[in-house]
Structure 1
Amino acid sequence: MKALSTTVVIVGSGSAGISAGFELYQQGTPFILLERGEQVGGAGKFGAHGVFAINSKQQRAKHVAYGYADAFKGLTDYNHFFVNGELLARFLKESGENIDRLAEMGLPVTVEQSEQKAHLNDPLVYHKFNDFKKKMTNWDKLPDKFRAAGNQVLTGMAAVDVEYDDGLKAVIDEDADGNRTRIAAKKVIFADGGYCGSPEMMAAKYADNAALLNLGERKADGTGIRLAAKLGANTDHNPVLFAHGCAPSLSINPMRRDSSVETLTNLPLLWVDQTANRFVDENVVYDFAMWANAAHNVGGQYYVLVDQKTLDQFRTQEVAMEDTFERQFCDVGETPKTTVGPLPNIQKDFDAAMTSGEVVKGTSVADLAAKLGLPLAALRRSLKVYNQAVESKDDAVFLKAADALQFTVDDGPIYAIVEHCAILGTLDGVNVDRNCQAVGKTGLPIKDIYLVGNNVNGLYSDGYPSYEGIANGFAFVSGWIAAKEAVKSLKQESVEA
């Protein structure tokens, strides 16, 4: 087996891992960064548009009143006190300074209004990357800085085991050909992003796993969580999906922005679940987390129903509805569109999606019910009640706003877009202390073992909350915390020696 040695091993180069690496680089502590992909970065690089923070210099300059007390109480209450209070407090208190760190890393952000329509009147806590493409370019420059300081960044290398005997002895990694390397080290920071890439772990935790649309990092296979558990770390926690929006498929998803089918799924039209009943005020589409949670609650899948008349209207007219993802793809300072259409290719897009099964067409209500396996009586009732709500502009059940009650769904032809709960990852894993050090069942820390980002329990009780950018913000801050604590521990050990 090939042998290397260093002081700290970082597993994963997403937001948490790259943040940990930057801190060690600044501190002059030797490290090896392992990335199982062929290029550095994870969900924070390829998908995230910003981070949550409080008390940043930018917020203070804008006299933002929302601070620690509001955020701590809000998150604690939201999670019904199923939180790691010490870790939550430390994250919040260091989140503002992290904004300055991001600028030092070449990943500058600007505090601005939420990207989500449901949160336009929320306090200014969201800090958006100034330039999404430049963020990815600058991310790729960080490994060169690390290497120039004498560290190693090894891509295509996955951690597979650890040697441990009253402290860390080594991390074992493996390349795509099965060749292994023993890396002697004193500390390890697992920043490998949860377990959404592990079919076994996902199936064990989520009954609707088969219906979920995984838009996250499939290379996040739970390695850090499993290896920490092997060393006695406490992994008891409710499973928490990083549920974020919904989409029909990997080919018709919000990141591609090239299908009218996807556009219609991003609007508050008529939705029914797999029992043919409405299940939510469809305006929830404007809150990514709650939208996905609503879909997760009905088995991870539902149907968006439109008739031919509605399709033709979208093809030829501008409709006063906002695409929920419109704001996400605006750069800082850009003005979003608040209408949709005309969509001249909509019929072509729907016909193509029918071939692939992402859209099902019924010549009548009965035909559609038969093709989807829905109870006909329930579907007819849902259409009748919804159409009455549209006509009267009064949704007596789900209280949908009148301006969103625009389209009835009449008998044939009717299209059903098969919509799935989308996930960006998972948000549960290992219990840690306020220093991001793994703890065992008794609560005592496990020496030398740190977990960060989506590997960590304690920020969420059962679902991703509507605090925009909080997962990415926590990833950067927790990586920073773990690296600082690892250095502090190393210095203490040196003194004791």
Structure 2
Amino acid sequence: MKALSTSVVVVGSGSAGISASFELYKQKIPFILLERGDKVGGAGKFGAHGVFAINSKQQIAKGVTYDYQQAFEGLTEYNHYFVNGELLSRFLKKSGANIDRMTEMGLSVTVEQSEQEAHLNDPLVYHKFNNFKDKMNNWDQLPAKFVEAGNTVLTETAAVDLDYENGLKAVIVEDKNGERTRISTQKVIFADGGYCGDPNMMAEKYADSKNLLNLGERKADGTGIKLAKKLGADTNHTPVLFAHGCAPSLQINPMRRDSSVETLTNLPLFWLDQTANRFVNEDIVYDFAMWANAAHNVGGKYYVLVDQKTIDTFKTQQVNLKDTFERQFCEVGETPRTTVGPLPNIQQDFDDAEKTGEVVKANSLSELSEKLNLSLPALQRSVDAYNHAIDVQDDDVFLKPTDELLFNVESGPFYAIVEHCAILGTLDGVNVNRNCEPVREDGTPIKDLYIVGNNVNGLYSDGYPSYEGIANGFAFVSGWIAGEESIKSLKQTKMEAL
């Protein structure tokens, strides 16, 4: 086995890992950064559009009054007090300073009203990356700075084991060819992004795991969580899915923006669950987290049902509905569209999706029920009830706004878009203290280990909340905390050795 030596090993180069590495780099502490993929970055680089913060200089300049008390009490109450209060407090109190720190990293953000329609009147807490392309490029430049300062960045290399006896001795890593290296080190920071890439862990925790559409980091296989648990870390917590939006498939998903099928899934049309029942006010489409939670609640899959007349209308007309993802892809200051259509390629898009199974087409409701294995009486009842709500302009069950009660479902062919709960990862793993050290069930910390980002329990009770950018904000700040605490511990050990 090859051998290397350093002071700290950082596992993962997403938001938490790159943030921890930056702190070590600034303080001139030798480290080795490991990245399982062939390039640096995780969900925070490839998907996130911003971070949550309070009391940033930008917010203060704009006169934002939403402060620590409101944020702490709001998140604590939202999660019914199933939170790690000290860790939440430390995150919130450092979140404002993190905005300037991100600028120093080359990852500049600007406080801007939330992208999502449901949050347009929320307090100004969302700090959006100024330019998505620049963010990607600047993230890629950070490893070169680390290496220039004498550190090591190993891509296509994963941690597989720890040598631990009354303290950390080494991290055992393995490259893409299966060759192992022993890295002698004093500290390790696990920032490897949760476990959404481990199908066994997902199936164990989520009954609907087969229906979930993973748009997150499939390389995140729970290594940090597993190795911490092996050393006695407490991993007891309600599973927390990083549910965020919905989509038909990896081929037809919001990141691609190239299919009319995907466009219609982003609108408050007519939704049915796997029992042929309507299950939510479809207006929830305008809140990504709650939209995905609603889908997760009905088994991770549902159907968007439209008829031919609706398809033809979208093909030739402009419709006064907002595409929920329209804002997501606007740069800072850009004005989003507030209508949809005309969509001249919609028929071809639906025909193509029918061939691949993302859309199921039938000439009658009876045929549709057979193809989807739905109860025909339940399907007919749901369609009749929805059409009645359209006719009288009153949704007396789910209370959809009248200006969204536009399209009934009357005559075939009928089209059912197969929609899945999309996830960006997982948000539970290891119980930690305020310093991001894993703790045992008795609350004592496991020294020399730090757990950050999506590996951490204690920020959420059972689901991702509607505080935009909070997962990414916590990833950056928790990586910063772990970097600071590892440096403090190294210095303390050095002092004790003198």
Relative to the length of structure 2, the TM-score reads 1.00
Task: Name the CA distance, whole Å, in 2 between partners of 1:349 and 1:163.
Answer: 54
Tell me the residue number matched to 1:279.
279
Tell me, yes or no, if structure 1 residue 424 matches structure 2 residue 424: yes
Tell me the residue number matched to 1:140.
140
Instruction: Map Cα deviations across residues 146-185 of structure 1 (whole Å, 9 max, x no partner).
Output: 0011000000100000000111000000011110000000
Amino acid paired to 1:100: D
Amino acid paired to 2:271: W
Show the 5 A alignment for 1:215-364: 215-364=215-364
Instruction: Map Cα deviations across residues 401-425 of structure 1 (whole Å, 9 max, x no partner).
Output: 0011100001311100000000000
Amino acid paired to 1:311: I
Task: Name the CA distance, whole Å, in 2 between partners of 1:148 and 1:372.
Answer: 58
Tell me, yes or no, if structure 1 residue 74 matches structure 2 residue 98: no
Amino acid paired to 2:137: T
Task: Confirm or deny: 8 A CA contact 1:160 1:223 kept in the other structure.
Answer: yes
Tell me the residue number matched to 1:116.
116
SS of residue in 2 equivalent to 1:446? coil
Tell me, yes or no, if structure 1 residue 15 matches structure 2 residue 2: no
SS of residue in 1 equivalent to 2:448? strand
Task: Confirm or deny: 8 A CA contact 2:15 2:476 kept in the other structure.
Answer: yes
Amino acid paired to 2:124: L
Tell me the residue number matched to 1:369.
369
Tell me, yes or no, if structure 1 residue 473 matches structure 2 residue 463: no
Instruction: Map Cα deviations across residues 127-160 of structure 1 (whole Å, 9 max, x no partner).
Output: 0000001100000000011001100000010000
Instruction: Map Cα deviations across residues 196-245 of structure 1 (whole Å, 9 max, x no partner).
Output: 00011001000000000000101000000000000100000000000000
Amino acid paired to 1:370: E
Task: Confirm or deny: 8 A CA contact 1:195 1:426 kept in the other structure.
Answer: yes
Task: Confirm or deny: 8 A CA contact 1:315 1:343 kept in the other structure.
Answer: yes
Tell me the residue number matched to 1:442.
442
Task: Name the CA distance, whole Å, in 1 between partners of 2:176 and 2:456.
Answer: 27
Show the 5 A alignment for 1:44-123: 44-123=44-123
Amino acid paired to 2:138: N
Task: Confirm or deny: 8 A CA contact 1:66 1:123 kept in the other structure.
Answer: yes
Task: Name the CA distance, whole Å, in 1 between partners of 2:157 and 2:367.
Answer: 52
SS of residue in 2 equivalent to 1:305? strand
Tell me the residue number matched to 1:485.
485
SS of residue in 2 equivalent to 1:399? coil
Task: Name the CA distance, whole Å, in 2 between partners of 1:312 and 1:494.
Answer: 73
Task: Confirm or deny: 8 A CA contact 2:9 2:34 kept in the other structure.
Answer: yes
Task: Name the CA distance, whole Å, in 1 between partners of 2:73 and 2:22.
Answer: 31
Unaligned runs of 5+ in 2: none
**TM-aligned CA deviation for residue 391 of structure 1:** 1.3
Task: Name the CA distance, whole Å, in 1 between partners of 2:374 and 2:70.
Answer: 45
SS of residue in 2 equivalent to 1:437? coil
Task: Name the CA distance, whole Å, in 2 between partners of 1:367 and 1:68.
Answer: 56
Task: Confirm or deny: 8 A CA contact 1:365 1:411 kept in the other structure.
Answer: no
Runs of 4+ in 1 over 2 A off after TM superposition: none
Task: Name the CA distance, whole Å, in 1 between partners of 2:235 and 2:364.
Answer: 50
Amino acid paired to 1:232: G
Task: Name the CA distance, whole Å, in 1 between partners of 2:274 and 2:337.
Answer: 33
SS of residue in 2 equivalent to 1:377? helix
Task: Name the CA distance, whole Å, in 2 between partners of 1:155 and 1:22.
Answer: 17
Aligned residues: 497
Amino acid paired to 1:379: L
Task: Confirm or deny: 8 A CA contact 2:247 2:253 kept in the other structure.
Answer: yes
Amino acid paired to 1:257: R
Tell me the residue number matched to 1:152.
152
Instruction: Map Cα deviations across residues 348-381 of structure 1 (whole Å, 9 max, x no partner).
Output: 0000000000000110111111110110111111
Task: Confirm or deny: 8 A CA contact 1:52 1:126 kept in the other structure.
Answer: yes
**TM-aligned CA deviation for residue 276 of structure 1:** 0.4
Task: Name the CA distance, whole Å, in 1 between partners of 2:88 and 2:56.
Answer: 17
Task: Confirm or deny: 8 A CA contact 2:308 2:411 kept in the other structure.
Answer: no
Relative to the length of structure 1, the TM-score reads 1.00
Task: Name the CA distance, whole Å, in 1 between partners of 2:108 and 2:390.
Answer: 45
SS of residue in 2 equivalent to 1:432? coil
Unaligned runs of 5+ in 1: none
Task: Confirm or deny: 8 A CA contact 1:433 1:439 kept in the other structure.
Answer: yes
Task: Confirm or deny: 8 A CA contact 1:225 1:430 kept in the other structure.
Answer: yes
Tell me the residue number matched to 2:40.
40
Task: Name the CA distance, whole Å, in 2 between partners of 1:401 and 1:299.
Answer: 26
Aligned-pair identity in percent equals: 76
Task: Confirm or deny: 8 A CA contact 2:116 2:327 kept in the other structure.
Answer: yes
Task: Name the CA distance, whole Å, in 2 between partners of 1:42 and 1:32.
Answer: 17
Amino acid paired to 1:4: L
Task: Name the CA distance, whole Å, in 2 between partners of 1:392 and 1:98.
Answer: 51
Tell me the residue number matched to 2:197.
197
Task: Confirm or deny: 8 A CA contact 2:239 2:428 kept in the other structure.
Answer: yes
Alpha carbon RMSD of aligned pairs, Å? 0.4
Tell me the residue number matched to 1:3.
3
